[in-house]
Amino acid sequence: MRGAALAVLWASSCALALQPISQPQTQRRTIQNAGTLDDVPDEPRVDRRAALVGGGLLAVSAAASGEPQPYDYGLWGVLPVGPYKAKRSAPLETIVPGQVWTIDQKFGILNVQVPVRMSIVKLSGGGLWILNPIAATRELLDMVRSLEREHGPVKHVVLGTVAIEHKTYAGVFSQKFPQATVWLQPGQYDFPLDLPPELTGFPVGRTRVLPASSADTPWAHDFEQATLGPFISRDGAYGETAFFHKPTKSLFVTDAVQQVSADIPKIFLLDEAAKKPLLYHARDGILDRIDPSDMNQLRKGWRRVQLFGLYFMPAAIDIHSVPQSWSERRPDVNADFAGIYPWDWARDDVKAFRALSGDSKDALLVAPIIQTLILNRNPVETLDWVDAVCKWDFRRVVPAHLKNNIEAGPSSFRRAFSFLTEEGEPAGQPKPRKDDLQTLLDAEKSLESMGAIAAKPGLVSKTNRAEVLARTTYRCRGAFCAPRSK
């Protein structure tokens, strides 16, 4: 069964956690010494072929968006993950009245679906700043248009990550707002062909690279920003930019930190169909029938969705063989996936969830896959980025996944990355249990042996910074190299 788990993890981690990064062929650049961005032209150069293809993609987007239901997304096949064509949006959520809003959709594989979040901020000079757009359905666009009518047009669309679940939707969304400038996380790359962003759906003539400093952006009066990575692996990379909105003391991140919660996100409670992932995972075994109105059962389903999303294979389950799963299928109990339910919840999953929750309401978590396979390869650079972020006086964190609008400040943020230090996590800090981590630990060995990820350079202490840096591997892709701390 562990081999099957590794197969699932390999596909998922290659597609998501180690997602290839993309950069324009006409704008080769190098990040040196903790994120200094060199040789970025003010205006992107676009050749005739890119302009023609970009125009074609715009036409395809317009045609595919003409769907009968306001939540249908005609381009869902570009990234065929759940909930596929029907990209329902949760109602617009106000984080700070008149200044900050978010909109959630669902994203995931099969019935392991979690919120994916777009953030919207009103600029002090008027107009809107949007981070990490989601699927541009008519339902979603109507909500954005309503904000435009009151607060001014969308001026900036920002992709603050290299991750595919965000990049896939950003280009199409940007095409819906022709007056907006589009900003991309440094280090974008497409696999197997390294194409300019205009050939992957981003608008021609108004797509730029995020500068290293907010002082070089049009929103310097409103935001501070700090870029992490990108850290380059053999097949992809991880990187994101954190943004601090000074007027509201809000920190916006993508995947760096999050928080698990027993509270069910609104996106799962829109109607009976929206509850399907929770009903599927609330079952202990294949014969269990779940009452869709039972909130305790729905909360159990949401707890398990989070465990699957963070661990891939939680230790509390026993996985069935393929023949057994097929022969025991029960579509009369739950019709999803032809009635197949390929595991039993044989042990206590509450302990695993509590370990990820921590003891305080402001506890933040770095996802186990990011802890185990990514950030521990570049611990000094990561902790330097954490230091930069913790200089800001933020009072809330708005991540792109799981719980929204977390009341947390710099001390909580710093504790989330204590797993990179020799001192380790303080008491009460969320910490993955080793039995739940086993699938990821097995994957780590396999990925290291294949050269897909570098060896860990070790944990950081107050006295060993130079030694850890000397043991850290820094990879390049073309002219682009991962940043290196001093």
Q: Which two tokens stand for residue 303?
A: 């707890």
Whichever domain contains 71, its CATH number is 3.60.15.10
Let me know if residue 175 belongs to a domain: yes
The pLDDT value recorded for residue 76 is 64
Task: Tell me the CA end-to-end span of the chain in Å, nearest whole number.
Answer: 44
Let me know if residue 470 belongs to a domain: no
The pLDDT value recorded for residue 197 is 77
340-358 pLDDT tens trace: 999 999 999 999 999 999 9
Give kind and range of the element (H or E) at residue 239: strand 237-245
Residue 57 reports pLDDT greater than 80: no
Beta-carbon count within 10 A of 180 CB = 22
Let me know if residue 197 belongs to a domain: yes
What helix, strand, coil percent values describe the chain, rounded to 5?
35, 20, 45
Query: Rounded distance, CA 113 to CA 308, Å?
Result: 9
Taking CA atoms, 173 is separated from 65, 138, 144, 158, in Å, by 11, 11, 11, 11
Residue 146 reports pLDDT greater than 70: yes
Q: Can you list the alpha helix ranges (DSSP code H) found in 390-432?
A: 410-416
- Helices and strands per DSSP (H, E), number in the chain: 13, 18
Q: Is the peptide bond before 80 cis (omega within 30 degrees of 0)?
A: no
pLDDT class for 67, splitting at 50, 70, 90? confident
Q: How many residues does the chain have?
A: 486
72 phi and psi, to 5 degrees?
-75, 145
Q: Are strands 181-184 and 207-209 parallel, antiparallel or unpaired?
A: parallel
Query: What's the mean pLDDT in 364-382?
Result: 98
The pLDDT value recorded for residue 254 is 98
Taking CA atoms, 303 is separated from 306, 349, 421, 444, in Å, by 5, 8, 29, 25
Let me know if residue 203 belongs to a domain: yes
Query: Rounded distance, CA 254 to CA 117, Å?
Result: 9
* Residue 396 DSSP SS3: strand
Q: Look-up: residue for tokens 């860990």? A: 456
Let me know if residue 360 belongs to a domain: yes
The gap from C-alpha 381 to its chain's centroid, in whole angstroms, comes to: 20
Let me know if residue 91 belongs to a domain: yes
The rounded mean pLDDT for the chain is 87
E strands in 24-172: 31-32, 36-37, 93-96, 100-109, 112-122, 128-131, 154-159
Query: Rounded distance, CA 277 to CA 301, Å?
Result: 7
The gap from C-alpha 333 to its chain's centroid, in whole angstroms, comes to: 33
Let me know if residue 486 belongs to a domain: no
Counted domains in the chain: 1
The pLDDT value recorded for residue 199 is 76
Residue 13 reports pLDDT greater than 70: no
Residue 103 reports pLDDT greater than 60: yes
- Residues with Cβ within 8 Å of 7's Cβ and at least 6 positions away in sequence, in order, are none
Residue 12 reports pLDDT greater than 80: no
> Percentage of the chain surpassing pLDDT 70?
84
Query: What's the mean pLDDT in 34-42?
Result: 32
Residue 27 reports pLDDT greater than 60: no
Query: Rounded distance, CA 187 to CA 209, Å?
Result: 9
Range of the domain at 281: 1-26+41-454
Residue of higher predicted confidence among 122 and 12: 122
The pLDDT value recorded for residue 18 is 36
- CB crowding 76-109: b at 16 or more within 10 Å, else e: beeeebbbebbbbbbebbebbeebbbbbbbbbbb
Let me know if residue 286 belongs to a domain: yes
Q: Can you name the residues that pair with 252 across neighbouring β-strands?
A: 243, 398
Q: Look-up: residue for tokens 């995931």? A: 108
Handedness of CA 328, 329, 332, 334 (dihedral sign): positive
The pLDDT value recorded for residue 71 is 75
Query: Rounded distance, CA 127 to CA 138, Å?
Result: 21
The pLDDT value recorded for residue 51 is 42
Query: Rounded distance, CA 60 to CA 54, Å?
Result: 10
Residue 33 reports pLDDT greater than 50: no
The pLDDT value recorded for residue 20 is 38
